[in-house]
Amino acid sequence: MKVLYCVSEAVPFVKTGGLADVAGALPAALAHLGHDVRLVLPRYRSISTEGLAPLFPLRITLGDATVEGAVLEGRSPAGIPIYFIECPRLFDRGGLYGEGGRDYADNLARFAFFSQAVVAIAAQAFPPDLIHCNDWHTGLVPAYLRLRERARQQGAWPALYTVHNIALQGSFPAEQFPLLGLPRDYLAPEGLEFWGQVNCMKAGLVYADLINTVSATYAREIQTAEFGAGLEGVLVARHRDLYGVLNGVDYTQWDPRVDAYLPARYDPEDLDGKRLCKRALQKEAGLEVLPYAPLLAMVSRLTDQKGCDLVAAVLPALVERGVQFALLGTGDPRYHALFAHLARDHPRHVFIALRFDEALAHRIEAGADIFLMPSRFEPSGLNQLYSMRYGTVPVVRRTGGLADSVTEATPGTLRDGVATGFVFDAYSPLAFLATVDRALDAFRDPVVWRRMQLAGMRADFSWDRSAQRYAALYREAVGRRVGGLAAGSP
């Protein structure tokens, strides 16, 4: 099947979070299954033009203006063809979505341009069987496809829309609607309007043929007021078209057997390398080099979503228990200040790195004993999957993909050797601390701990299975359009 996969970030080109990991790995896994998948990405300043070939110029209407750009062709290291959308006015900037903690004021124009460029590629360079859109940045693509359909233009390709995080919706004042060049009736409650605003996420949810999100639990959760961020009604209305597919792990990047970022490598049969990684991390972090002190860690965007307030609340109590803690993250300035303060108060036990650092993220995964993910909500979550592979036992809240991927330690699961982590329910410091305490108890029992580490390291969350599920969704979307003729073809 021919698939145009459009997304605002992808490893190894640009990354702010898990979306980039998915966009780097899923297309390659689909290609491995025999599909012709091509990526569309904005050409941000940090992406070099070296080796990119101009394909065709773009002239895109945004309101009264015509904005010029170009499509450049390249390839990912894995051999996936990539169309880069060049438009210096919109994308030649220091950040992806904003700078200094503030979103760019013209983000609607930027991603309306990008979305129209995706449709132009389908029309002029690569007519796909299906267009796969991801998150709010490409939510307008299905709206533009519907417009073609309405105008009876050739090529109104079916679209699958994937929600990676319902909380980030791309919401803009209605005054900016004319930018989009869409008929007035699109700005309606049954269209992309939401509480008087243009809502790009809603455009994707309303106009795509099929919708999915990144775990089965999150697919259920977002149909409720607690998790739906206001869009639960739209999702309930489309629940027959809504699926959950758990993200996978790219084990060529995230596996302690092969990870080039680590000071030592290891595997389930021999964990000596992990001990060396812990030692090296303690040294790097300025913590005491104590092999038996439990080293807890977190690598995360520092936002309300990730449970940073819970971690900050329990940290002093954990320090009293002799625990060491390493955190790598960036985000909300409030949390920067809070964690910097905690590090100052407990310099011998707490290490805080407030930056984005891919290599350190790998070294922390390998060097830590316990990984903390007490998220309020977590669509899929990747770090808990990475942690398990690195023998770093996760403590997670029972939500979204965390609930779907971590097997809670109970007498039964421990006996059967399938327990991979510790899980708690109530979003409260008390519940969280009690669960970390359970993890610390288990850590002190080398036999139990080793069993849990091995169960996690041997669990398989590779992309193959998830890629097959995406391929089935593609067939379903295409099949609906052509009366089932395409179903079954790869």
90 lies in the binding site for ligand ADP (CB under 6 A): no
Q: How far apart are CA 238 and CA 250, in angstroms?
A: 31
- Applying CB under 6 A, the span of 12-20, 57-65, 77-85, 470-478 interacting with ligand ADP comes to 12-20
Give the Å distances, CA to CA, from 446 to 21, 128, 251, 282, 396.
Answer: 33, 53, 27, 20, 21
- Applying CB under 6 A, the span of 99-107, 134-142, 188-196, 378-386 interacting with ligand ADP comes to 378-386
User: Which residue, 380 or 435, has its beta carbon nearer to ligand ADP?
Assistant: 380
Provide the minimum distance between the beta carbon of 372 and ligand ADP in the complex, in angstroms, as a whole number: 12
> Which of 3, 37, 361, 486 lies at the binding interface for ligand ADP (CB under 6 A)?
361
- Applying CB under 6 A, the span of 79-87, 280-288, 375-383, 390-398 interacting with ligand ADP comes to 375-383
User: Which residue, 273 or 379, has its beta carbon nearer to ligand ADP?
Assistant: 379
Provide the minimum distance between the beta carbon of 94 and ligand ADP in the complex, in angstroms, as a whole number: 17
What tokens does 161 get? 């829309």
Nearest Cα to Cα of residue 217 among 242, 199, 193: 242
Instruction: Say how many CA atoms lie within 13 Å of 190 toward its Cβ.
Output: 1
Tokens 């060097």, residue located: 367
Per-residue contact track with ligand ADP, 269 to 288, x per CB under 6 A? --------------------
Q: How far apart are CA 190 and CA 187, in angstroms?
A: 8
Provide the minimum distance between the beta carbon of 118 and ligand ADP in the complex, in angstroms, as a whole number: 22
Contact 73, 55 (CB under 8 A): yes
Buried b (16+ CB within 10 A) or exposed e, 127-161: ebbbbbbbbbbbbbbbbbbbbbeeeeeeebbbbbb
User: Which residue, 116 or 303, has its beta carbon nearer to ligand ADP?
Assistant: 303
Provide the minimum distance between the beta carbon of 366 and ligand ADP in the complex, in angstroms, as a whole number: 12
Crossing angle, helix 200-207 and helix 140-150, to 10 degrees? 50
Provide the minimum distance between the beta carbon of 383 and ligand ADP in the complex, in angstroms, as a whole number: 4
Provide the minimum distance between the beta carbon of 75 and ligand ADP in the complex, in angstroms, as a whole number: 23
User: Which residue, 304 or 357, has its beta carbon nearer to ligand ADP?
Assistant: 357
421 lies in the binding site for ligand ADP (CB under 6 A): no
Tokens 């359009």, residue located: 481
Q: How far apart are CA 169 and CA 163, in angstroms?
A: 10
Q: How far apart are CA 67 and CA 144, in angstroms?
A: 17
> Which of 142, 158, 381, 394 lies at the binding interface for ligand ADP (CB under 6 A)?
381
358 lies in the binding site for ligand ADP (CB under 6 A): yes
- Applying CB under 6 A, the span of 142-150, 176-184, 202-210, 350-358 interacting with ligand ADP comes to 350-358
Q: Given the rule CB under 6 A, which residues bind ligand ADP?
A: 17-19, 21, 299-301, 328-330, 356-358, 361, 380-383
